[in-house]
Structure 1
Amino acid sequence: MPLPDDEHTGARIAHHRKRAGLTQRGLTQKVPYSYSLLTQVESGHKPASPDLVAAVAKALCIDVTALTGQPYVTELQKDRLAALVRPIREALDLYDLGADPAITPRPTPQLVAAAQALCQQVRATKLHDAALDLPGTMAEITTAAYRTPSSELWAALSSTYRTAHDLAVKLGYYDLSTVALDRMDWAASRASDPLLSAVRQYMRALVYFREGEYTIGQRLVASGQGLLEQSPQSRERHAVAGQLHLGASIIAARAHDEDAVKNHLTEARSYADRTGEATDVHWLSFGPTNVTVHAVSAHVEMRHYGEALQEAAKVRIPQDWAVSRAAHFYVDQARAQMEAGRSEAALKSIVTARKLAPQQTRYHAGARETIRGLIHLSRRTPDSLDHLAAWVGL
């Protein structure tokens, strides 16, 4: 059965539902959503929320990307990003071949700085630059780590694998992101850094969160907290512990466990009070601002849009905050505004996200669904919304 011409997420849900031999009522018996909502989503009259997509993917035993249409290859080709994915995939695959005799690596301080620069590029959403530089830097640090092993070099290599994961997620290559996390664990174990290993468990939890596997995600967060016991008390440990609680709050929100959400956010705030804005710790952007931003996300996941907007009104983005994180906040805010009937405000939030992080916003499934929802809500589509719709390929 070919895919429908109108390839929005709802149409893909209908396509895969029919392939599974299910009626709309049959599918709604397998997911915690109403028949009315499903019919509106499949017809394109309501956007497909991330929680609905995850639930449907799980019920149909398919990947979320089969429903979202990621990666968005046409747009990636226009941005000259598609051709950069294969070298990253190859660099991840060559991790166990030892030192490359054709490479003469730079001194360790320069390699560590190069790994940090890649992290900075991703958080500044310079995705093309990061994707272009990553394979060569990864190969160079791999060779250096094999020739003169040190915790510093293995940690730097683990950082490049994390960058590969971040790029893969932002561009919609979730299969590649999973490979990158496996490599991150491989290098982190050689660096003997429990904080790195805990961050990796946090990122793994988010992978399962996207796929609707909330119990596994919660177990991974708990595993990350356990790994922190191997690290001495420090500001860095507190920041990672707090970030794990933030991840757990979003997973709990998707599972509609409001008590757990409150508990995790309370714990995260207690850590944030001790660390302050800890944007320098493992590129987590942890701190009081991130706690409030996660409270917004949690309310959105629980479909408490009024509460989400109340929390959003409290957010004041620090000047040194990662652009990628700020843009994600505006996408969440836009979804809450759209669902609350504030279409004009939602459009402004999406435009802000685009100005901050154009490539990231273009490939963000939530941003695309929000734009689609705004189109259907608008009796007269504003020129700026028309332009955004064309820009993301809708």
Structure 2
Amino acid sequence: MSAEITTPGPGANVKVHRVMRGWLQDYLADRAGMSTSMLGKIERGERPLTQVMGAALANAFGMTLDELLGQAPVKVGDEDRLKALRSAMRRFDLPTGDPEMPERLEHDLSELFRLRGDANLSAVTHKLPGLLIRVQDNAHATGLPEDWAKVADVYSAVYWLAARHRWMTLAELAVVKQKQAAERASALALAVAARDEAGTFLNGGDFAGGLALVDQAVVRVESTMQGRTRHLGLGLLHLRGMTLAGRLQDKKTAERHIKAANEAAEAFYTDIDVQGMHFGPENTITHIVATQVDLKRNAEALEVAERYLRTTPTLPATRIGPLHMNVARAKLAVNDRDGAVDSLADAWDAAPQMAKVHPTSLELSRVLVSLHKRSNPKINALAKRAGIEL
């Protein structure tokens, strides 16, 4: 048994909330439908708090999953940028400028999506407020569907940034505005907005609600879209669907979304990037790996992931980082602790800013530090990067 330590990581929040309510472990475990032994291991850092268990515990506490996981702190210097971003969002229907030069706007949008792909959260935070004002002004001035699609794309980036930090009030406002812009844009923009709205259900732990939303959007895409764009819209939705089904432990529904995502991916020889939206065979693989780990098919997940990583992945850091996190989850589940440390270090190398705030990264770091001897140099390096005191 490892000593109990105070470290960053969502699992550490469980004991805080339990003690704050004056509950004993057996009472909370009973309310959450898990064993007292498992709860004790989560609180001591001997087992990671998964999203599945986190949702059950959050429900037992009467809170949402994102509230239990905790928000990432706002970096020094970003407070004013986030205030400016919220101000721009409030002024969605209050244009203040003239149309933009199309080439300049396209250049700046491409730069935003490149930064998002690199998982450069700081740079995205810096760029979003001004760019959001510009795309909104431009769309109001031209009234063109393609310009409203740009607005929806920027709001999708706002959702992504907020969800990564678990700033869910901001994320939920972003998807409302995204949908309003998408309704003036295109069927594809509406499909992406539905995917992101379902993401807020995922972040909040309402996996069933998110699945229902995905199913509604799939029906709409099937009846309104054609060609490769239809495959893209369906593919993005089915990726979200498999994740939600995996968190819900619904194997049959997960398999249905996996099959449908693979079928949609067959329309693309390689992964495509449309305004920061990646879809194709590779991105489908990364989502399948995550879902298999959620369904406790860890050996299968490792086989798929390791076969993919032996190729030359073309996906950006924002996808490769979480893939390594999920490989680390699977390795820890099969008791390959050293391998889990290596994979988690790979996640930090691929997307350091994302790893710094991602609940999976933080929780794996907490558990691996707790389980390993403090003299392990890899653990020491990992702890330092995660801000864990040994």
TM over 0.5: yes
Q: What SS is found at the alignment partner of 2:308? A: coil
Task: Specify the alignment match of 1:84 in structure 2.
Answer: 81
Equivalent positions of 1:276-355 (< 5 A) are 276-316=269-309, 319-355=313-349
- Which moves more between the two structures, 352-361 or 21-30? 21-30
1:223 counterpart = 2:216: yes
Task: Specify the alignment match of 2:58 in structure 1.
Answer: 57
**Counterparts of 1:32 and 1:297, CA distance in 2:** 23
Task: Specify the alignment match of 1:15 in structure 2.
Answer: 16
Q: Which amino acid aligns with 2:292?
A: H
CA change 1:84–1:340 in 2 (3 A) is: farther
Task: Specify the alignment match of 1:28 in structure 2.
Answer: 29
Deviation at 1:20, TM superposition (A): 4.2
Conserved 8 A contact 2:321-2:351: yes
**Counterparts of 2:257 and 2:35, CA distance in 1:** 29
Conserved 8 A contact 1:239-1:281: no
Deviations 1:74-121 (A, max 9, x none): xx33xx54553222222212212x221xx4552234324422321221
- Which moves more between the two structures, 122-131 or 228-237? 228-237
CA change 1:7–1:113 in 2 (3 A) is: closer
Deviations 1:242-262 (A, max 9, x none): 222222112111121212222
CA change 1:83–1:65 in 2 (3 A) is: farther
Q: Which amino acid aligns with 1:33?
A: M
Task: Specify the alignment match of 1:107 in structure 2.
Answer: 101
**Counterparts of 1:304 and 1:30, CA distance in 2:** 26
Task: Specify the alignment match of 1:259 in structure 2.
Answer: 252
Conserved 8 A contact 2:374-2:380: no
- Which moves more between the two structures, 234-243 or 372-381? 372-381
**Counterparts of 1:86 and 1:20, CA distance in 2:** 34
- Which moves more between the two structures, 105-114 or 286-295? 105-114
Task: Specify the alignment match of 1:390 in structure 2.
Answer: 384
**Counterparts of 2:80 and 2:378, CA distance in 1:** 30
**Counterparts of 1:84 and 1:318, CA distance in 2:** 37
Task: Specify the alignment match of 1:242 in structure 2.
Answer: 235
Task: Specify the alignment match of 2:170 in structure 1.
Answer: 176
**Counterparts of 2:340 and 2:172, CA distance in 1:** 32
**Counterparts of 1:55 and 1:384, CA distance in 2:** 33
Deviations 1:316-368 (A, max 9, x none): 46554222111110111111112222122212212221122110111111001
Aligned-pair Cα RMSD in Å: 2.2
Deviations 1:132-170 (A, max 9, x none): 121111111211222221112111111111111111122
**Counterparts of 2:7 and 2:315, CA distance in 1:** 38
Conserved 8 A contact 1:246-1:264: yes
Task: Specify the alignment match of 2:124 in structure 1.
Answer: 130
Q: Answer 1 or 2: higher relative contact order, Cα 8 Å, separation at least 6.
A: 2
Deviations 1:43-68 (A, max 9, x none): 23322222211221122222333322
- Which moves more between the two structures, 240-249 or 10-19? 10-19
Conserved 8 A contact 1:54-1:64: yes
Deviation at 1:283, TM superposition (A): 3.1
Conserved 8 A contact 1:71-1:172: yes
Deviations 1:148-207 (A, max 9, x none): 21112111111111111111122331221111111100111111x111111111122122
Q: Which amino acid aligns with 2:215?
A: A
Task: Specify the alignment match of 1:41 in structure 2.
Answer: 42
Q: What SS is found at the alignment partner of 2:272? A: coil
**Counterparts of 1:99 and 1:65, CA distance in 2:** 33
Task: Specify the alignment match of 1:272 in structure 2.
Answer: 265
Task: Specify the alignment match of 1:198 in structure 2.
Answer: 191
**Counterparts of 1:26 and 1:326, CA distance in 2:** 39
Q: What SS is found at the alignment partner of 2:128? A: helix
Structure 2: gaps spanning 5 or more residues: none
**Counterparts of 1:358 and 1:51, CA distance in 2:** 25
Q: What SS is found at the alignment partner of 2:325? A: helix
**Counterparts of 2:38 and 2:72, CA distance in 1:** 26
Deviation at 1:385, TM superposition (A): 2.2
Conserved 8 A contact 2:8-2:362: no
Conserved 8 A contact 1:71-1:171: yes
Q: What SS is found at the alignment partner of 1:197? A: helix
Q: Which amino acid aligns with 2:48?
A: P
Conserved 8 A contact 1:308-1:333: yes
Matched positions, count: 383
Conserved 8 A contact 1:72-1:172: no
**Counterparts of 1:230 and 1:263, CA distance in 2:** 19
Q: Which amino acid aligns with 2:255?
A: K
CA change 1:5–1:324 in 2 (3 A) is: closer
**Counterparts of 1:279 and 1:285, CA distance in 2:** 6
**Counterparts of 1:281 and 1:331, CA distance in 2:** 25
Deviation at 1:7, TM superposition (A): 5.9
Conserved 8 A contact 1:201-1:224: yes
Conserved 8 A contact 1:99-1:146: yes
1:189 counterpart = 2:183: yes
Structure 1: gaps spanning 5 or more residues: none
**Counterparts of 2:98 and 2:89, CA distance in 1:** 19
Equivalent of 1:362 in 347, 356, 362 = 356
- Which moves more between the two structures, 275-284 or 143-152? 275-284
Conserved 8 A contact 1:112-1:153: no
**Counterparts of 1:279 and 1:229, CA distance in 2:** 20
